[in-house]
Amino acid sequence: MAQNRKKVILVGKIGNGKSSLGNNLLRKNYFSEGSGFNAMTTKCQLEKRGQFEIVDTPGLFDTSQNRNVARQAEKILDALKLCPAPHAFLIVIRYSRFTAKEVTALDVLPITFGEQYFDHAIVVVTHVDNDVTDADFRNACRESHKVNELLKRCGKRVVRIDNMQPKDKNISILLRYIDQVSKYGTACFKNDYLSCHEEVLRRHADHYGYDRRLVHEQVEIIAKEIRTLIEKEKKEREEKEKKEDQSEKEQDYHCIVKNSLIFGAGFTCGIIFSKL
C-alpha cells in the first residue's frame, strides 16, 4: 500500500527552528537555516520529498513590535496557494520561550487561517535537549498557563524534538499525530469562509503601512471584522439557499399541475372515445 501523503505547513516565531524541523522531516537540507533571530525565511517555500509536502513560512514577529499584522498574515496565507488543503499545521515553539508573549504571537494564526486550523494543529517544541526527561518536559509545559491553553485548543497534541540530534522516537510520535489529524490522509484543513479572512486582511494591509498599534490590538480589530463579515456571508448564503429551495418547490408544483392537467385531459378523452 502506498504511503499516506503528508501535506504540512510550518508556523511559528522567528528563530524557533521551523526550517530545521522541515529539513529533519524531509531528511535533506532544503530550507535555509538561520541562527538566533536571523530570519532566513522571508516568504513561503514549498519542498517535496517522499511522502511529504512541506511549506516553511515567514517567522511571526514579536508582539511588542509595531508592524502591520495584516501584511504578515497575508504572507503566511500564501502557504495555502502552494499547498492547498493541508493535512496538518505544525506550531513550532522553542523550549526556552514558554512565555505568554511567545504564545500571544500565535494569535495571528486564527485571523489568518480561521479557528478551524486548530483541528489540524500540532505543537512541536524544539531545542529540547535529549537529556531532558519526559517528566521535566511535561512539567515545563504545565508551568505556563498560555502554553496549556494552546495545547488544549490543539487537542493536547505536543511533541518534543532536538533539531540538532532528532530522535526517531519523537519523529514517529509526530508522524502519528499527523496521521491522526488527517485521518491517514483523508481529512484536510478546510475553511468555507476563507475569502472573508482574505478580504479583511487585504483591506488592512492596503490601508495601513507602518501600524503604530500593538500586535494584539490589531489582531482584536481584524478578528472582529472577520467575524462580522462571516456572519453577513452566512446570512446571504442562507437566503440564497432558501430562494433556491423555494424555486425548486415551485418548479415541482408546476410540474405536478402540468402533469395533472395532461392526465386529466387524457382521461376525459378516453371516456369520450369509449362512448363512441
Ordered by where they begin, the domains of the chain are 6-226 (3.40.50.300)
Q: In 3D, which of 100, 27, 31 has the Cα closest to residue 63?
A: 100
Q: List the end-to-end C-alpha distance of the chain, in Å, as a whole number.
A: 75
One-letter identity of residue 8: V
Confidence (pLDDT) at 1:
37
**What are the φ and ψ backbone dihedral angles of 41, each rounded to 5 degrees?**
-95, 110
pLDDT at 253: 63
Instruction: Provide the greatest CA pair distance for the chain.
Output: 105
Reported as a single tens digit per residue, the pLDDT across 243-268 is 877 767 767 666 776 676 666 656 55
DSSP string, 57-124: -PPBPPTTS---HHHHHHHHHTHHHHSSS-SEEEEEEEGGG-SHHHHHGGGHHHHHH-GGGGGGEEEE
Integer angstrom CA distances of residue 26 from 97, 125, 137, 174: 25, 18, 25, 13
pLDDT digits (tens, 9 = 90+) for 141-164: 888 888 889 999 999 999 999 999
DSSP 3-state assignment of 56? strand
Cβ within 8 Å of residue 56, ≥6 positions away: 10, 18, 19, 22, 31, 41, 44, 45, 47
Helices 69-77 and 215-275, interaxial angle, to 10°? 50
Phi, psi for residue 43 in degrees, rounded to 5: -150, 165
The amino acid sitting at 193 is Y
Q: What angle do CA 151, 117, 149 make, to 5 degrees?
A: 20
pTM of the entire predicted model: 0.84
Per-residue pLDDT at 134: 92
Pairing of the two strands 88-94 and 121-126: parallel
Residues of the chain with confidence (pLDDT) below 70 = 1-3, 34-40, 62-66, 208-211, 247, 250, 252-254, 257-258, 260-276
Q: Yes or no: say if 60 and 84 are a contact pair by the CB < 8 Å rule.
A: no
pLDDT for 146? 83
Residue pair 122/91 in contact (Cβ under 8 Å)? The answer is yes
Distance CA 74, CA 44 (A): 11
